[in-house]
Amino acid sequence: MKLLLGLLMLSFFMTGAFLVPFIDLLFKLKRKFERHSHLKTSETPIHDNLMKGDVSTPSGGGILLIALLVILSLSYGFFIQEENKLTLFILIFTLLSFGSLGFMDDVKLILTQRQGKFLGLGRRKLFIAQSILALIIGGLLYFLLGLDNLYITGVANLQLGIWYIPLAAFIIVSFANAYNISDGLDGLSSGLLLICLFAFLALAQTTLDTTLASFIGIWIGALLAFLYFNIWPARIFLGDAGAFGFGATLAVVGLLTGKIVALGFIGGVFTIIVASSLLQILSKKLFKKRILPVAPIHIYFRFIGWEEPKIVVRFWLAQSLLAVFGLWIALLSS
């Protein structure tokens, strides 16, 4: 525990030290390049109008956080002989591979003015790339770590065999996109992620998984420092590299604990957010009308007049309750 707390504090202070000059750099780049660019719009004008105050805030904080998380985790793994190298490799591979999908979009956002998302690969190519990477990660979990079970508390422990890979891939892609969609209000996604990670840290500690616990501890320290600059009014946004990388890695953390059902509850608000967006898309495709004036659901609350900090804190509270419930479900099967 002392080592874990030391890693968390080291990560916090290192991230805080690097974030200040990094934010200044992003502001300078934004001011330099936006003068030579034209504002590009997306297909969601209501969403863009609600978010118009955020155009001047630089994005791309996830690039720095991913770099620090990888460096600190690898350094810890190099010096600690008991570290599970396969688990650490899968976590870092997930973080870097999914983070790279959003990196192009972050760079374009730094160098241009625009509204909306997905300037990089485009929706279709992005989904295909995510699916391929998620299947690879699911294969690593299955073939290297031998994970293949779906435990439902009080019901059954299903041995899925090779079918574990597509299930894991579906969960990874879902959380990667859920996190990206939730990254729309100051401090929302980072705060929700912190709550999830504290729950998974408790699970890792109960199973004595020092590799997973140390990785989560380093991650929590970095997020605490980032959240200081990300809460309303935000000085920096996470960006797509961080959103995709963190969302996918959160899913892998849940899969590594073996508590897939609990993952759905611990990350419950992310599930609700992506479900609201998916239902909106399906309704428009199938019935040619919208369920809500604007989606996802946290943007809808902004649309009806809720203040941004009020939405964020109430979502944090809901996530806390769901995380406690999910942790309880997970511990029932321990």
Q: Is the peptide bond before 58 cis (omega within 30 degrees of 0)?
A: no
Percent of the chain with pLDDT over 70: 88
Mean pLDDT of 82-95: 89
The whole-number pLDDT of residue 190 equals: 96
The whole-number pLDDT of residue 68 equals: 96
Q: Quick check: 118 pLDDT over 70?
A: no
Q: Quick check: 189 pLDDT over 90?
A: yes
Q: Quick check: 54 pLDDT over 60?
A: no
- 141 vs 33: CA distance, rounded Å: 42
- Which of 86-90, 106-110, 217-221, 265-269 comes out lowest in average pLDDT? 106-110
- 281 vs 271: CA distance, rounded Å: 15
Q: What is the pLDDT of residues 63-75, one digit of tens each?
A: 999 999 999 999 9
Q: In the structure encoding, which two tokens stand for residue 303, read together? A: 């649309």
User: Residue 47's pLDDT band (boundaries 50, 70, 90)?
Assistant: very low
Mean pLDDT of 245-267: 93
Q: What is the pLDDT of residues 125-158, one digit of tens each?
A: 899 999 999 999 999 999 999 999 887 766 677 8
Quick check: 141 and 164 in contact, CB under 8 A?
A: yes
Q: Quick check: 7 pLDDT over 50?
A: yes
- pLDDT, greater one: 218 or 55: 218
Instruction: Name the DSSP letter for residue 251.
Output: H
The whole-number pLDDT of residue 120 equals: 59
Measured from the Cβ of residue 45, the count of other Cβ atoms closer than 10 Å reads: 12
User: Residue 39's pLDDT band (boundaries 50, 70, 90)?
Assistant: very low
What residue ranges in the chain does DSSP mark as E strands?
Answer: 149-152, 156-159
- 3 vs 333: CA distance, rounded Å: 28
User: Residue 218's pLDDT band (boundaries 50, 70, 90)?
Assistant: very high
Paired residues of 149 in beta bridges: 159
User: Residue 112's pLDDT band (boundaries 50, 70, 90)?
Assistant: low
- 168 vs 152: CA distance, rounded Å: 15
Tell me the one-letter amino acid at 203: L
**Average pLDDT value for the chain:** 87
Provide the 3-class DSSP secondary structure of residue 159: strand
The whole-number pLDDT of residue 333 equals: 65
The whole-number pLDDT of residue 123 equals: 80
Nearest to 151 by CA among 278, 28, 331, 26: 331
Q: What is the pLDDT of residues 294-322, one digit of tens each?
A: 889 999 999 999 999 999 999 999 999 99
Q: In the structure encoding, which two tokens stand for residue 240, read together? A: 């797509």
Quick check: 226 and 15 in contact, CB under 8 A?
A: yes
Tell me how far CA of residue 50 lies from CA of 279, 296, 323, in angstroms.
21, 12, 29
